Amino acid sequence: MAKLWAGRTDGTTNQLADDFNSSIHFDSRMYKQDITGSMAHAAMLGAQGIIGKDEADTLIDGLQGILDDLDSGALAFDMTCEDIHMFVEQELTARLGDVGKKLHTARSRNDQVALDIRMYLREVVDEVDAMLGELIAVLVDRAEQDKATILPGYTHLQRAQPITFGHHLMAYVFMLLRDRERLQDCRRRMNLSPIGSCALAGTTYNTDRRFEAEKLGFDGICLNSLDGVSDRDFCVELMSAYALLMMHLSRFSEELILWSSWEFRFVELSDDYTTGSSIMPQKKNPDMAELVRGKTGRVYGDLMALLTTLKGLPLAYNKDMQEDKESVFDACDTVRQCLPVFTGMVATMTVRADNMKQAAAGGFINATDLADYLVRKGLPFRSAYKISGQIVADCIAKHELLETLPLADYKRYSDLFDEDIYEAVDLTVCAEKRTSEGGTSVQSVEAQIAYVRGRL
Ligand code: ARG
């Protein structure tokens, strides 16, 4: 079929080239934004006297009819159309006749598509933001429940110091809060309207860009028309924010995978969020956590794909830019798929406080507290550190723990040791004493929880 843009050419193209060029199979998902944008455009054309008021009303009614029919399923996309913009215009003209052909006055698909993506993505950002809010709420509640649960904190994946599980969970909460901030920040720049930039240079018609922007809920307009149609920074920014968010979920997933292993047994994931093996009857696999970890790579890939597509593009619009949508949509879909599954998984997991405590007890993670004990009694830290190291080595050789080593043995290293050493190396006391702001004690974790709840 001849294209709407038939004119200079007869508008027929090679079938392969047609399929190659066409974007309707992925941009049709923006039909609501496309039609709503067109309604605002028709209203502006009417208000400015560029078309008749009655013509504007006819266009708006026609567009509403198309929107309703697409929503209800009464109308299907014509996949032979090049893109969603052409489809809507073709359908409108089929329904209204010549007046339909007036809609595209003072507009180009270049500013139209830029508008549609911004409108589509700002909705997704709000959705993802709400999902993040739910995950944060679940984590904060869990942190509250487990604010006194002791487990080993690790560095280099070696047992390091006793921490509370609440403290560990709150670390993720702060990462996710930053993710929310990044999304909201990106949304601010996204929420400027490019419509009225036209093909690239603006227009000779007496348009009112701010009227349209306001009608569509934008905070303002893109102030340079070349930039308006060429800018896809907001897609890149959004995907960068997603990449960081997924990196956080991936690190958390990795911990859940380790923690739910038989070696750790710190948590048990619920049956709803695990799978069995087709051959090994004993298995309970953390597939959801693994998939979130795996899909992180996919989101990074989407980001790199678009950055690479945009690199070196001259101003203004180039067809390369049609490639923005599949990357950004895939990243949006992936993040929207991962977040609720992840939230469900952590909301339903069982914490094995006994195993956490047991792991904390075996690894000399109170050795820093042993050194601090000597420091409090007047020894310089570096000397205290050395003695403590020797005592640990001694304990390992004798199959003792700092909690069980007889006082006589302690005293061989320093006269400063007394009965109160046993309280100083008690794991609960070690965690409890870390009351510095941001630290692991119940009191510090409660302060962190209160701060976050205040912000939610
Ligand atoms: N389908 C196109 C895209 O997604 C719409 C803009 C086309 N503009 C043009 N001059 N061919 O980018």
Question: Which atom of ligand 1 is nearest to 82's Cα?
Answer: 1
Mean residue pLDDT of the chain comes to 96
Q: Which of 21, 29, 322, 325 to mutate to test the pocket of ligand 1 (most atoms within 8 A of CB)?
A: 322
How many whole angstroms from 21 Cα to the centroid of ligand 1?
9
How many whole angstroms from 110 Cα to the centroid of ligand 1?
6
Q: Is 77 exposed, middle or buried (0-12, 13-18, 19+ CB in 10 A)?
A: middle
Q: CATH for 15-105, among 1.10.275.10, 1.10.3720.10, 3.40.50.740, 1.25.40.10? A: 1.10.275.10
Is the sign of the CA dihedral 136, 138, 140, 142 positive or negative?
Answer: negative
Query: Would you state the pLDDT for residue 241?
Result: 98
Q: CA nearest 144: which of 445, 454, 455, 391?
A: 445
CATH 1.10.275.10 domain residues, the chain: 15-105
**Residue 309 Cβ contacting ligand 1 at under 6 Å:** no
Query: Would you state the pLDDT for residue 69?
Result: 98
C-alpha pair distances (Å), 187 with each of 34, 114, 159, 212, 227: 19, 15, 41, 19, 17
Range 256-259 contact pairs with CB under 8 angstroms and sequence separation of 24 or more = 256/286, 256/289, 256/345, 256/346, 256/349, 257/286, 257/289, 257/290, 257/293
Q: Which of 82, 229, 319 to mutate to test the pocket of ligand 1 (most atoms within 8 A of CB)?
A: 319
Query: Would you state the pLDDT for residue 400?
Result: 95
How many whole angstroms from 399 Cα to the centroid of ligand 1?
72
Query: Token digits for 192?
Result: 């400027």
- Angle, alpha carbons 272-274-275 (nearest 5°): 115
**Residue 109 Cβ contacting ligand 1 at under 6 Å:** yes
Check residue 306 and report its DSSP letter: H
Q: Which of 26, 112, 113 to mutate to test the pocket of ligand 1 (most atoms within 8 A of CB)?
A: 113
Q: Whose CA is nearest to atom 3 of ligand 1?
A: 322
Query: Token digits for 452?
Result: 């976050």
Active-site residue numbers?
Answer: 156, 277
CATH 1.20.200.10 domain residues, the chain: 110-205+223-358
Q: Given the DSSP bridges, would you call strands 150-155 and 220-221 parallel, antiparallel or unpaired?
A: unpaired
How many whole angstroms from 278 Cα to the centroid of ligand 1?
48
CATH 1.10.40.30 domain residues, the chain: 367-425
**Residue 28 Cβ contacting ligand 1 at under 6 Å:** no
**Residue 110 Cβ contacting ligand 1 at under 6 Å:** yes
**Cα–Cα dist 112/110, whole Å:** 5
Count of positions (residues) in the chain: 456
How many whole angstroms from 73 Cα to the centroid of ligand 1?
26
Assess contact for 184 and 129: CB atoms under 8 A: yes
What backbone torsions phi and psi does residue 302 show, to the nearest 5 degrees?
A: -60, -45
Q: Whose CA is nearest to atom 11 of ligand 1?
A: 319
Question: Which atom of ligand 1 is nearest to 199's Cα?
Answer: 10
Query: Would you state the pLDDT for residue 11?
Result: 77
130: Cβ contacts below 8 Å, ≥ 6 apart? none
**Residue 83 Cβ contacting ligand 1 at under 6 Å:** yes
Q: CATH for 367-425, among 3.10.450.100, 1.20.1250.20, 3.30.420.40, 1.10.40.30? A: 1.10.40.30
Assess contact for 427 and 361: CB atoms under 8 A: yes
Query: Would you state the pLDDT for residue 8?
Result: 83
309: Cβ contacts below 8 Å, ≥ 6 apart? 320, 321, 323, 324, 327
**Cα–Cα dist 68/32, whole Å:** 10
How many whole angstroms from 304 Cα to the centroid of ligand 1?
21
Q: Please identify, in words, the CATH class of the domain defined by 110-205+223-358.
A: mainly alpha
Query: Would you state the pLDDT for residue 62?
Result: 98
Q: Which amino acid is at 226?
A: L
Question: Which atom of ligand 1 is nearest to 325's Cα?
Answer: 4
Residues (pLDDT < 70) of the chain are: 1
**Residue 104 Cβ contacting ligand 1 at under 6 Å:** no
439: Cβ contacts below 8 Å, ≥ 6 apart? 167
Q: Whose CA is nearest to atom 2 of ligand 1?
A: 322
**Residue 23 Cβ contacting ligand 1 at under 6 Å:** yes
**Cα–Cα dist 369/427, whole Å:** 9
Strand ranges in 334-407 using DSSP code E only, listed in sequence order:
350-351
Cα pseudo-dihedral 354, 163, 146, 284, rounded to 10? -50
How many whole angstroms from 311 Cα to the centroid of ligand 1?
18
**Residue 146 Cβ contacting ligand 1 at under 6 Å:** no
Check residue 98 and report its DSSP letter: G
Q: Is 134 exposed, middle or buried (0-12, 13-18, 19+ CB in 10 A)?
A: middle
